Amino acid sequence: MKQKLLKYGKIIIPIIIVLVIIIMNFSKTEEEPEEIIELTQEVEQEEPKKQIKIDIKGEVKKPGVYELKENDRVSDAIKASGGLTENADTELINLSKNLKDEMVIIIYNKNKIEELKQELKETKTVIEYIEKECSCPDTINEACIKENISEKQTNKTQQPSKNNKISLNTGTQEELLTLPGIGESKAQAIIKYREENGGFKTIEEIKNISGIGESTFEKFKDYITV
């Protein structure tokens, strides 16, 4: 009997040892993911998102400076400022852009956007959406969609100068077309206005013409006279 036990013991003991090793390794493998998850959570807790301040202006209900978190979106800044007004137009705004400290965001009104679109149409521009130049009215607007605007088939072959101003009352259509922001329809509207109203009394009077707002006027006011 004793010999049998010794004989079978030599076989059973190694098997038991192997099983014990397998069970220990399996238990260790099961525990490791939990340890990794705990360590990851600790790292995340130690590195909170940086607080930043942004300045949002224009067509939002509560313009001002707001404190948000780094990598929040422009849409988050709009929510923080009370949301958009009824007159807001975000066509040129990248709502998904990440925020950064000291960022300036300007939300334009519908009239400003229509005025800009009309200018682009009259100067026959082609807009390509690439990360180069900003076509927003304000170059400081960091939420603006980046665009590269290239003029094609434009009539502006000769630019006016401050020393050789164009008269709103006597300038030809070709001369008026050389003014920044003035296309064929606006040039014709200027000529029609002066004929129907006995001429312009001041250069500011040109803003009475539909489609010529303050931003357009600022572009060519130094190049015109009455």
Sequence-ordered alpha helix ranges (H) in the chain: 2-46, 74-80, 110-122, 173-176, 184-197, 214-220
pLDDT, one tens digit per residue, over 85-111 is 999 998 888 899 999 898 999 998 988
> Distances from the Cα of 209 to the Cαs of 104, 206, 213, in angstroms?
32, 6, 8
What average pLDDT does the segment 144-164 reach? Answer: 52
The residue to which tokens 């493998």 are assigned:
29
| Torsion angle of the four alpha carbons 195, 196, 201, 203, in this order, in degrees rounded to the nearest 10 | -70
Where in the chain do CATH 3.10.20 domains reside?
Answer: 51-151
pLDDT of residue 149: 41
The pLDDT value recorded for residue 85 is: 94
- pLDDT tens, residue by residue, 41-67: 665 565 677 899 999 999 999 999 999
Which has the higher per-residue pLDDT, 104 or 152?
104
d(CA 186, CA 181): 9
CA angle 114, 90, 145 (to 5 degrees): 95
Confidence band, pLDDT 50/70/90 cuts, at residue 75: very high
Output the average pLDDT for the chain.
Answer: 75
| 194 neighbors 213 (Cβ within 8 angstroms) | no
CATH class of 51-151: alpha beta
Percent of the chain surpassing pLDDT 70: 65
| Residue 30 neighbours by CB distance under 10 Å | 9
pTM, rounded to two decimals:
0.45
166-225 in CATH: which number? 1.10.150.320
Q: Where does CATH 1.10.150.320 sit in the chain?
A: 166-225
Residue in 100, 97, 60, 102 with CA at minimum distance from that of residue 81:
60
Per-residue pLDDT reduced to its tens digit, 209-222: 888 888 888 888 88
Q: Which residues pair with 69 in a beta bridge?
A: 51
